Amino acid sequence: MAIKHYRGDLPEDFDWSGARDASVAVDSETLGLNPHRDRLCVVQLSLGDGTAHLVQFAPGQYEAPRLKALLADENVTKLFHFARFDVAVMKAYLGVDTAPVYCTKIVSKLVRTYTDRHGLKDLVRESVGVDLSKQQQSSDWGADDLTDAQKAYAASDVLYLHDAKDWLDERLRREGREEIAEACFRFLPTRADLDLLGWSETDIFSHS
């Protein structure tokens, strides 16, 4: 495992054309779970090659043209775990519509119906055989300098998503649920927009 750390954007020579299966694993670290209040601090990426790339942001400095280009690249699928939150945060702070996307949490709920444990830690343990540490999950991601433990935690959130996706895709095919998964992925940007507009806790599809 290798970790590369940048400030403000990906480097000029960053090339994602060789990403495994034309997919890039993506995650974010924020100061909390309210995109309107809790700023984006770190975006981490992996091309599926065992290296994690961490982009750290100072308050209010979200130009990041190269990162935005990657997130909006229609030829590259962005792999998330709970894409609903990350896609909303990317739009709120980077002003970018992230697409196309694949969400391992959605697929986990579609195929791992034998459990109610769909967090990344449980999914990676079953699919990849790796036990992730979540000790740094609630640490201060707004600090000027990230600790080695924070960097390792951020990296672990993206380094195993490609393998988890492969494992999940086998089960999607087995259960014949690929089409419903794709429909969910297409809806995710709209779901994120609803969250940002104030309908995060309201099911607009319900009768009441």
Widest CA span of the chain, in angstroms? Answer: 52
- Rounded CA-CA distance 162/20 in Å is 8
Is 204 part of any domain? no
- The answer to the question of residue 202 being in a domain is no
How many separate domains does the chain show?
1
The string of pLDDT tens digits covering residues 174-185 is 999 999 999 999
Q: Is the residue at 203 inside a domain? A: no
CATH of the domain at 84: 3.30.420.10
| 74 assigned to some structural domain | yes
pLDDT tens track for 62-121: 999 999 999 999 999 999 999 999 999 999 999 999 999 999 999 999 999 999 999 999
Residue 54's nearest CA partner among 1, 2, 6 is 6
Q: For residue 207, tell me if it sits in a domain.
A: no
Output the pTM of the full model.
0.95
> Is residue 52 within 8 Å of residue 4, measured between CB atoms?
yes
Other Cβ atoms within 10 Å of 49 Cβ, number: 12
